[in-house]
Amino acid sequence: MQMRLLVPRFLVRRLAPPLAIAIALLATAARAQTEACDAAAAPPSADFEHYAAEQWPREAERFKTNRENVSREADRLRLKLENGDTVELADCPHGDTAHVYLYERYDEAGRFYVVRRPAFKDFSYTLVMRAGGKQYTVYGTPVWSQDKARFLTVACSWLPPRGTLTVHAPASGGLAAEAEIKLPTCLDETETCSARWDNPSWIAVTCTRSDGSSRRGSEFVVMKGSDGTWKTFGR
């Protein structure tokens, strides 16, 4: 699982490719993700509308086997909860608050919906608990341990600055972070890092050089001790 910055077409505003990507990257660093939609910031973006029109049919293919729980009406994604209520996630086409919610899948182990959220300022996933509708933001797709007791996510990018391996576990109808392990080479742009479970108490982290060189990147392991804390070895 390797994390990289994803820049949807609606983020780059039809500029020449190198300049467009540079502007999108710099804008990402300016402010963290927000759920607000500022309709006064700018008129609806034609690029946003094109991106949405391109993505929604693909999304429909993903939820067609779960239509009793997932639906879309124009720019609103609706997710049904266990008690019959509905969580509604609304897209925003306006200026630098632009973002899209795209259904990815239902996670049986965690009992949550996984929703991708490309945005002008950021890229993330929203996990929506089916039991009560609580929402959690993560910056990588959940990767479960073999015993399904917990999952990890990796956030590795230099714009916005993120370098963290997080271990999450179900707790009281929601999710709790058991550990956050810093990945400093993600922040200085020298490496990109991925992680895998070797067993339920052992995570192997492998980082590769961002410059494309043949030099070996850093590797280390994260182990859960008998006291329940997660510790790193081999940095």
In this predicted structure, what is the pLDDT of residue 15?
33
In this predicted structure, what is the pLDDT of residue 177?
95
Question: Which residues face 113 on adjacent strands?
Answer: 106, 128
At residue 72 the predicted structure's pLDDT band, cuts being 50, 70 and 90, is very high
At residue 80 the predicted structure's pLDDT band, cuts being 50, 70 and 90, is very high
In this predicted structure, what is the pLDDT of residue 33?
46
- Condensed to tens digits (0 to 9), the pLDDT of residues 106-129 reads 999 999 999 999 887 788 999 999
- Condensed to tens digits (0 to 9), the pLDDT of residues 173-187 reads 899 999 999 999 888
- In order of 43, 68, 193, 225, the CA distances from 201 in angstroms are 50, 37, 19, 8
pLDDT(17) > 80:
no
In this predicted structure, what is the pLDDT of residue 10?
47
In this predicted structure, what is the pLDDT of residue 31?
37
CB 143 within 8 A of CB 155: no
In this predicted structure, what is the pLDDT of residue 61?
92
In this predicted structure, what is the pLDDT of residue 235?
65
Return d(Cα 79, Cα 89) in angstroms, integer.
8
CB 23 within 8 A of CB 82: no
At residue 12 the predicted structure's pLDDT band, cuts being 50, 70 and 90, is very low
Region class of 107: left (phi > 0), else alpha (psi between -120 and 50), else beta? beta
pLDDT(49) > 80:
no
At residue 96 the predicted structure's pLDDT band, cuts being 50, 70 and 90, is confident
Residues above pLDDT 70, as percent of the chain: 83
pLDDT(90) > 80:
yes
**Buried/exposed 53-82: b ≥16 CB within 10 Å, e otherwise:** eebbeebeeebeeeeebbbbeebebebbbe
What letter would DSSP give residue 100? -
Average pLDDT over residues 152-160: 90
Higher pLDDT, 4 or 36: 36
Find, among 22, 1, 96, 6, the residue nearest to 55 by Cα: 6
